[in-house]
């Protein structure tokens, strides 16, 4: 089997790909090489002029939960300063980048392929600041673990629903790599704001967008504390919506986002979902007591999703089918979280609206309608985004 080579691996082998002048590396614990050594250490050892590390949500080392970052200001492995950028944007981020003394910002993190995963929005904000402050931007590209042939779900209604879980109109399952997203953001979003960015992408070698992540030969590094496996990432693409409800999305268990439950759920949920025979997934009734987050220390009942065929599995449609079943079976108990009740700050909007990208999902379910009716069939990435931003050949159909 031919192993995929990431942009990080190519940059370590040839640091000239990063250009000249001091570099600020926006990275974290997912920025690794195939031997699981960190990109930051390898670049420094190779002689790249990295002078500062910029950290995102969960921090450089991934020791904290969603909505948090680490207080560490120095990396003992590289002897470099760490500047946290999480939730910094606009003038505050401009000041950080301009004051760092770097000429190039390099991004190296593993995205999930899901719009409401925050690493791409750290990239977006840094790109925007780099454009405003005249810095060059380089993306060390990595495969999309959900694949690059299919998009699912709706886009984002930017007006009124832009947030750190979605700043640009991309699909819930977007099917793009970070490098392709960077090209889209620069050519569409930044250009619309009158900003020009000096952008380069160090491409991935040997990635098949229609293939499975396991075929890359790359090890899976949990992309955040609640993302232990590739199957978790697939599930999260649909069940991440439950973060905006009073259903536990499994945080505080060993299988977050694959495990869902609440005190009011009973055996009817698993039976209903098994009757649906949804493609690529099986449902098992479970009892669990989360160690933290929703219902911490309370035994609740629910279901575990077992992804059996990643190619057939449709995470957005599955997540909405589970939501429909819970809303229908437990109408007196199920609810969406009220405005301001969310993980990462006092935003006074409904969390589920920001995750979904509009208020359409919440309003439909609250009116007794079907959430499943909101998602159409999956589409090819080329149908959704065209060919201009694509770095890797795509299959023509889904």
The residue to which tokens 């990643």 are assigned: 310
Domain boundaries, the chain: 7-213+381-385, 230-374
Question: CB-hemisphere CA count at 13 Å for 312?
Answer: 10
Q: What is the second-level CATH architecture of the domain 7-213+381-385?
A: 3-Layer(aba) Sandwich (3.40)
| Triad 237, 321, 298: Cα angle to 5° | 75
Residues near 358 by beta carbon (within 8 Å), at least 6 away in sequence: 154, 156, 157, 161
Cα–Cα dist 259/306, whole Å: 9
- pLDDT at residue 129, as a whole number: 96
Share of the chain above pLDDT 70, in %: 94
DSSP letters for 154-207? ----HHHH-BTTBSS---SB----HHHHHHHIIIIIIHHTT---EEEEEPPBS-
| β-sheet bridge partners, residue 306 | 282
Regions of the chain where pLDDT drops below 50: 64-65, 68, 343
Task: State residue 32's pLDDT score.
Answer: 96
C-alpha distances (whole Å) from 328 to each of 264, 270, 300, 301, 318 are: 13, 13, 19, 17, 15
* pLDDT given for residue 69 in this prediction: 55
Quick one: fold of 230-374?
3.90.1150
What backbone torsions phi and psi does residue 104 show, to the nearest 5 degrees?
Answer: -135, 135
- pLDDT, residue 60, reads 76
Tokens 């080329």 identify what position? 382
Residue 84 pLDDT: 82
What pLDDT shows up at residue 57?
A: 65
């Amino acid at each position: 089997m031919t192993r995929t080579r990431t942009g990080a691996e190519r940059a370590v082998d040839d640091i000239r790909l990063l250009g000249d002048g001091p570099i600020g590396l926006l990275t974290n614990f997912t920025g690794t090489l195939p031997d699981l050594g960190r990109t930051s250490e390898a670049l420094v050892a190779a002689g790249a002029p990295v002078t500062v590390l910029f950290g995102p949500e969960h921090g450089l080392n991934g020791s904290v939960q969603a909505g948090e970052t680490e207080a560490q200001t120095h990396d003992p492995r590289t002897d470099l300063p760490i500047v946290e950028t999480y939730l910094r944007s606009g003038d505050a981020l401009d000041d950080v980048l301009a004051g760092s003394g770097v000429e190039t910002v390099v991004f190296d993190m593993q995205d999930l392929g899901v719009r409401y995963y925050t690493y791409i929005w750290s990239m977006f904000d840094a790109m925007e600041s780099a454009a405003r402050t005249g810095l060059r931007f380089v993306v060390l590209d990595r495969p999309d673990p959900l694949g690059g042939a299919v998009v699912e779900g709706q886009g984002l209604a930017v007006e009124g629903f832009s947030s750190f879980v979605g700043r640009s109109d991309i699909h819930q399952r977007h099917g793009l790599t970070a490098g392709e997203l960077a090209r889209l953001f620069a050519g569409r979003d930044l250009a619309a704001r009158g900003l020009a960015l000096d952008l380069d992408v160090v491409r991935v070698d040997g990635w098949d967008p229609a293939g499975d992540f396991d075929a890359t030969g790359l090890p899976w590094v949990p992309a955040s504390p609640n993302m232990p496996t590739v199957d978790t990432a697939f599930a999260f693409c649909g069940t991440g919506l439950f973060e905006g409800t009073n259903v536990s999305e499994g945080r505080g268990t060993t299988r977050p986002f694959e495990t869902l439950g609440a005190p009011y759920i009973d055996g009817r949920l698993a039976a209903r979902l098994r009757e649906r025979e949804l493609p690529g997934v099986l449902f098992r009734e479970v009892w669990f007591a989360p160690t933290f987050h929703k219902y911490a220390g309370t035994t609740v009942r629910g279901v575990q999703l077992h992804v059996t065929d990643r190619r057939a599995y449709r995470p957005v449609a599955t997540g909405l089918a589970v939501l429909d079943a819970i809303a229908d079976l437990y109408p007196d108990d199920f609810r969406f979280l009220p405005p301001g009740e969310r993980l990462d700050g006092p935003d006074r909007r409904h969390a589920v609206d920001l995750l979904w990208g509009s208020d359409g999902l919440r309003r439909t379910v609250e009116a007794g309608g079907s959430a499943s009716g909101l998602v159409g069939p999956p589409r090819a990435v080329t149908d959704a985004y065209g060919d201009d931003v694509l770095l890797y050949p795509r299959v023509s159909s889904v």
